[in-house]
Each structure stands twice: as structure tokens, then as C-alpha cells.
Amino acid sequence: MSKLFVGLVWICLLAHSGVLLAPLNAAEPAVNFGEQIRPLLMRNCFTCHGPDEGTREADLRLDQLADDDSALADTFIQPGDAEGSELYRRLLDDQGSRMPPIDSGLVLSPEEIELIGRWIDQGASREGHWSFQTVAAEPNASLSESQSDMTASTIDSHVRQKLNRQGLTPSPPADAATLIRRVHLDLTGLPPTTDQVREFVADQRPDAYQRMVDQALASPHFGERWGRHWLDLARYADSGGYLGDKFRPGAYHHRDWVIDAVNQDMPFDQFTIEQIAGDLIEDATPWQKVATGFHRHAMKNEEAGADMELNRVTHVVDQVSTVGSVWLGLTVGCAQCHSHKFEPISHHEFYGLYAFFNNAKDLDLKMPAEDADDAAPALPIIVAEKSPRQTFVHLRGDHNQRGDEVEPGVPAFLHPMHPRGDKPDRLDLARWIVDPANPLTPRVAVNRYWKHLFGRGLVDTVDNLGISGAAPSHPELLDALAAQFVRDGWSRKTMIRRILMSSTYRQQSVTSRADALADPQNVWLARQSRFRLDAEVVRDMALTQAGLLDATIGGPSIRPPLSASSNAFARNTGWKLSKGGDQVRRGMYVVLRRATLYPMLLMFDAPDTTASCAVRDRSNTPLQALTLLNDPVFVRCAKSLGILLCNIEQDNWPAVAFERVLGRQPSDDEAARLERLQHNIREQLQDAPADELARWSEPAAEGVEPIEQATRSLVARCLLNLDETITRE
């Protein structure tokens, strides 16, 4: 039987599936191919029946079921008839023809086999991958709120539908002290002051929470916190990496641009266009050109004898891969050497994207004397080549082995590009990426926002929304947010505000043992998430509570003090200690030398900057506690906070210290334990060596005995080391 005939039969069957195929049982939920069937096939079948021609057997491809009818030859899959389908029979076979083969070590559970059978009986629908479909903008009929004006209650309705299906109930709201601390840490990366907490707790106005959120969104520190999220994606660093690790004195200009753009709530589409192709905008300003510094953060080997053309090609490949993952949420780089094994991106299409960046070159832009000091570092940007390069497919990824010539182009499975001229350029690519018809960009963006506010995305693989990524836990909610994001003019602050106003965000993070066992990863959002602060915020928290933080925004990177052992190594890398207040600026301004990352940031899982980072690791190690106890910056913070506590005359100073550091008043038990702690420390200091006493009582607080000052410094040291102190509840 010809494949053409089978394909025609298949099309006819699908056209009449509502009548001719087995009707859906009203009590039996429809099986979703993309969410339920394709992952099973990927795990169990693609090794032998997938994209790799070298390992493919029986000339059968199951990875293209959604787009290709060739897998339906003969009776392999008979829509509406599982028993008559070869696929289903092979899964049930316990003899030599069983699939997957017995010697493969792969086994489908009876429930998984039954699921595939139900899918076939229901018509074997093969819709395309969810994230490649147009964002659904129509409201869910079962929701009371219209999606055309999404409110916080719409978010809650979506979440509660899922909770009901899982037999879970939402948690009660967090208390006021927890809420203001959560919002401030999420939006600014800095804790609220004691006065701010007290005022919010006492504020009984119905819109008190809304006012507090709006104030945090308006803070200039919002741009620093959310700019740092973006710089993780941009693989920001102050040096080029490799053995030479050449310093980049002007890299911080792009960091300043990001902070300013986020603070100004630059629409995300414009934010995208300026970073990808700011130099190509008509009458582009120097600041718009600075935005293209995004592309200059890639590693670069500038050692003597390095192959400069290989360096350039590697840089362009990095640009393509980074843009693909950051904006499209796809592992585009996997198609550098061959067509993608899972996503519909061919080898040829990768080099179509490559061609957009192959015609750009690095440039260090000198500012006019009237705009900047002559000694100021040049602005690292990219500009278009005057004479465009030809682009060829690199066979097996080797730039020395040329294949067919290619023109700039985009993957065919997505929406078409509408270039301004005969030959598209980077500006056309940027506009294509933020075209409202693009189903990926808004989903990727709002999923990241959700991840930063809940600890995980609605799609857990936040940098991969492709076929090889995870399925969304709340697909309708993700689409509702993505559609609203575009309707809101791509406003980051508006979207974040919508999420923060929801009851889902305001839930407490504590939960019962039963609920924790039922949903340990909090996929269904029956509670808020509790997680350790990012590395920079851990440092900022201590500096703030100690009254040391220099809150200056922007400017060159700084070098804080290092431990003796770290300093001995860093001295060879030009670690010149910053002076004055620069030592205690925010963690995001600490210089990022790729060969010698600041140890404290590295200890708390800051990205290594070699590649775009969408999700930071969150480890929990003894070395982190030792860092908080002994790192020079944290020792200084403890001593500075101790001096501040010496200004408190009343006997309950430990409780005052507790409230300052943790943003809440201690319980009776905690207050009693604090009292015991300070008495025990004071007693031990009576017999302490003079140098140990001096370590914690210098510089001396005026009019305070050294033992009393050291006691308060060591209590402060303990409070700054608490798990709760470095945790967002």
C-alpha cells in the first residue's frame, strides 16, 4: 500500500473523526498528544525510531508524528482502533516482538500502555507542540473574569481549578511582616527597614498592600534586582575568559543600560530590539548602541597564537545560541552540527540565523569629549559590516568545511518574517522575535517572571519551551499571562504587579506534611515557595542590616576585600581593592573575572558567566555557613551591626537586633534563647584571649566596654548567619 494512499486515508479519517471514529467517553478525559503521549514516545522509542538516521530502525520515525503521516503506514496506528494498531499490539506483546525490546531496558508501565491505547481509541489526534501554537487569547469559559482585562482573581481562578483536580487547597495568606519582606526582596533585592515593616503591619487601609507593592516597583533598586536577572541571561562578565581572561573595562556600560531600561519599564519589545540591533535603528543614539553590548559578553580567546577566525565563528555561534534560548526558549545551538534531534530546526536553518550575526563586528565606541571624560572606558558594541560576508553551512559544525550558501532566514515552523528590504538584517530579526504572532517570546518572558516570583516557572525548564522541554503545569494560565503581556504593551512592571496582587502570590510558604508529600515541588501552587536568596542578595542583606550599604546605582565594577588565602591568589590577577564606600556597594557591582570569580558569590551559586544562565543552582553546604561566619565582608557587617546595637540602652537589645535582621519580632521562645545566647557569649569572653576580644570590639564604640561591644557583635554575627536571614519566605 503506498504511503500517499495511506496519507489520504488518514486525512479523510481525521476530517470525519467526530463521527466515524470512536466517540469520546464523557467520563473519560481526552488524552493530549503533546503533554501525555509524545513524552512517552520520546523516552522509550526515539532512540530507535527518532531523528538519528544512524540508529533508526525499520525506517520508522515517531518523532514527527505531529507533522508526518509516514509513520501510519499499513496498520501501525489505526485511529479509533487500538486493538487493530500494530503500535499497541507491540506494547502488549511479551514475546520477541515486544517494543521497546526487552534487551533495551526500557519498560512502559501498564498505565502508560493503557494511556496510549486510549489515545488511539480517541482518534490518535496529533496536535503540534503546545508552545509552537498561537497564544490562546480567548477567555476560559469556566472562569468568571474576562481574559481581555486580566485581574489577579483570574490568576487565582486558573490555579484553583488545578488545585481542585489534585485534591489540594490553597494556603492562607502570609502575615503582613512576611509579605512586605517577600515583596521587597523579590522586587528590589533589599530588605524593608524596621520602620517600613511596622508601618505596613499597622496599616489597616484596604489598599495597603497595593500601595506597598507600587512603592517597591517604583524604587530605583527594582532595576538593579530585575536587571541582575537579565544579566544572568546575557552571560555578563567583566573579562573575556580563557587563560588570559583579559579585563573588559567598559563592560559595565551595558549593565547600566539594563538597570536604566528596567527602571524606566522600557517595553520588552523595544528592550529586545535595542539589544539585538540597536545599532541598526535609524538615527540610533549612543545609548541605543550600548544596548548591543549584550552580544559582547561572550567569552573571547585573545591569547597569542589563537585562531582569530575560529574565535570569530565561535562568537557568532554563541550569539545565535544565546538569542535562541533567551528570547525563543529553544536549544537552537543543538543544530550547529546537524539538524536538531528534537526541535524542528534544520542544520540549514541554524545557519540562516547565523547569517544575521555573521555580518556584525565588535567595535569599542569612543564617546565625544563633551559627553564623557577622555579617560572613560570605550563603549563595547557591535555594528554591521560594510561589506556583508557570505554565509555557508558548516558541515558537522566545522567552519573549514563549507556546505551550501545560505541567506539570513528564520525557522520555517514559526511565523514568517516581513523584512524591510530585499535582504533581512538583525533589525528585521529583532522585530520578528517580538512580532505579536510569535508564540514563543511572550510565553518565555512571562514564564521567567513567574519563576522569579514563585521559585519555579509554569514551565519548569524555563530556558527550554521546546519539544524536549517540560510541559506547562498551567497551560491556560501561561497563555493568559502571555496574551495579557502583549496587550499591556510588553510592560514588565505591569505584569509583575498583576502577579503580586494575586492571592496565589500572597499565600504563606509553610504547609502541612500531607500537602508537602502530595506536591513536594509545589507544582500546583497550594503555597508560596521558600528558597535561599541569590548570592548577591545574601551580601546586600548583611550590608543593609549592618548599616554599611552604599546604595549608589551604576558605574564601574568594584573589588571588595578578600580573605588572606583568596587574596594571595587574586593578587596575580590584578585584584586591586576598591576604596571607601565602593567596597560596600551592592553585590551586582562586584567585578566578575571569569578566571577568578569572587569567592563569596561562587559559594552561593552565582553563575559562572561562561554561558547564558536561566536558572541558578541552589545548594546548601557547610561552606556557606563558614563564609557567613568568616568572610571579611560578613565579619565587618557583624562588627558594624554590633556597634549600632551598642547605641540601644534598653536591656532588650537582642530582640531589637532580631527584628532589625529578620523583619519580625521574636517569639517568646526565641527571645528567651537570645537572652541565653548573649549571657553565654559574655561569660565566654571573660576568659577570651586579648586578640580575640579585640577582633570583635574594634573599632571601639564610644563609651562601651570591649566585652559588651564584642558580645553584641557576636550576637549580630549569629543573627546574620541564621537560615531565615538568608531565606525568602
* Interval 53-87: pLDDT, tens: 777 787 788 877 766 565 555 568 888 888 888 88
Instruction: Give me the pLDDT at residue 16, please.
Output: 41
Domain closes at, from 414, 433, 452: 433
pLDDT-wise least confident of 101-105, 584-588, 616-620: 101-105
pLDDT at residue 157 in the model: 96
146 has a pLDDT exceeding 60: no
Per-residue pLDDT at 27: 56
- The span from the CA of 302 to the CA of 296, in Å, is 14
Same-domain pairing of 52 and 107: yes
pLDDT of amino acid 71:
53
Beta strands in 317-410, from DSSP E residues, in sequence order: 360-365, 379-384, 391-394, 402-406
Q: Same domain for 400 and 466?
A: no
Beta bridge partners of 360: 384
Co-location of 414 and 315 in the same domain? yes
Residues 188 and 71 placed together within one structural domain of the fold: no
φ, ψ of residue 402 to 5 degrees: the values are -85, 140
Check residue 63 and give left, alpha or beta (phi > 0: left; psi -120 to 50: alpha): alpha
Task: Enter the C-alpha cell of residue 114.
Answer: 493503557
Name residue 177's amino acid.
A
Share of the chain above pLDDT 90, in %: 74
Same domain membership, residue 706 and residue 560: no
Q: Is residue 540 part of a domain?
A: yes
Of 575, 582, 584, 576, the C-alpha closest to 539 is 584
Does any domain span residue 236?
no
What is the pLDDT averaged over residues 319-324? Answer: 98
Q: Which domain holds residue 562?
A: 531-618
Same domain, 201 and 302: no
Express each pLDDT in 555-581 by its tens digit: 999 999 988 777 766 656 668 899 999
Could you tell me if residue 150 is inside a domain? no
pTM, two decimal places: 0.91
The residue among 670 and 124 whose pLDDT is bigger is 670
Whether residues 88 and 28 share a domain: the answer is yes
| Average of per-residue pLDDT across 115-120 | 92
Residue 588 covered by a domain: yes
Q: Which of 209, 155, 160, 199 is nearest to 449 (CA)?
A: 155
List pLDDT tens digits, range 437-479: 999 999 999 999 999 999 999 999 999 999 999 999 999 999 9
562 belongs to a structural domain: yes
Q: Has residue 134 been placed in a domain?
A: no
Q: Can you give the pLDDT at residue 12? A: 39
| 625-629 long-range Cβ contacts below 8 angstroms, 24+ apart | 625/721, 627/599, 627/600, 627/603, 628/538, 628/542, 628/720, 628/721, 628/726, 629/717, 629/721
Structural element, H or E, at residue 727: strand 727-728
Beta strand spans in 316-459 (E): 360-365, 379-384, 391-394, 402-406
Asked if the model's pLDDT at residue 360 lies above 90, the reply is yes
- Residue 337 in this model has a pLDDT that exceeds 50: yes
Whether the per-residue pLDDT at 372 is higher than 60: the answer is no
**CA–CA separation, 357 and 204 (whole Å):** 55
Q: Is residue 147 part of a domain?
A: no
Predicted pLDDT at 152: 75
At which of 596, 618, 640 does a domain end?
618
Q: Is residue 488 part of a domain?
A: yes
pLDDT of residue 21: 38
The answer on 312 and 420 residing in a single domain is yes
* Alpha helix positions (H), 338-398: 347-358
The answer, yes or no, to whether residue 17 has pLDDT greater than 70, is: no
Strand pairing of 360-365 and 379-384?
antiparallel
Poorest-pLDDT segment among 45-49, 224-228, 511-515, 699-703: 45-49
Q: Residue 124: its pLDDT value, please?
A: 87
Same domain for 407 and 285, yes or no, is yes
Pair (559, 661) in one structural domain: no
Q: What is the pLDDT of residues 243-281, one digit of tens each?
A: 889 999 999 999 999 999 999 999 999 999 999 999 999
Q: Tell me the CA distances in angstroms from 582 to 168, 296, 353, 578, 592, one per residue in order.
A: 49, 25, 42, 6, 15
| Residues above pLDDT 70, as percent of the chain | 91
pLDDT for residue 563: 82
Q: Looking at the predicted structure, is the pLDDT value of residue 25 above 70?
A: no
For residue 375, is pLDDT > 80?
no
Q: What is the reported pLDDT for 571?
A: 57
Distance CA 626, CA 622 (A): 6
Q: Are 563 and 212 in contact (CB under 8 A)?
A: no
Given pLDDT bands bounded at 50, 70 and 90, which one contains residue 305? confident
Task: Please tell me which of 27-36, 425-434, 690-699 the model is most confident about, judged by mean pLDDT.
Answer: 425-434
Give yes or no: residues 404 and 298 share one domain.
yes
Confidence bin at 482 (pLDDT 50/70/90): very high
Q: Which of 402, 433, 464 is the last residue of a domain?
A: 433
Statement to judge: residues 579 and 610 lie in one domain: yes
In whole angstroms, give the CA distance from residue 399 to residue 348: 14
Number of domains in the chain: 5
User: Mean pLDDT score of the chain, rounded to an integer?
Assistant: 90
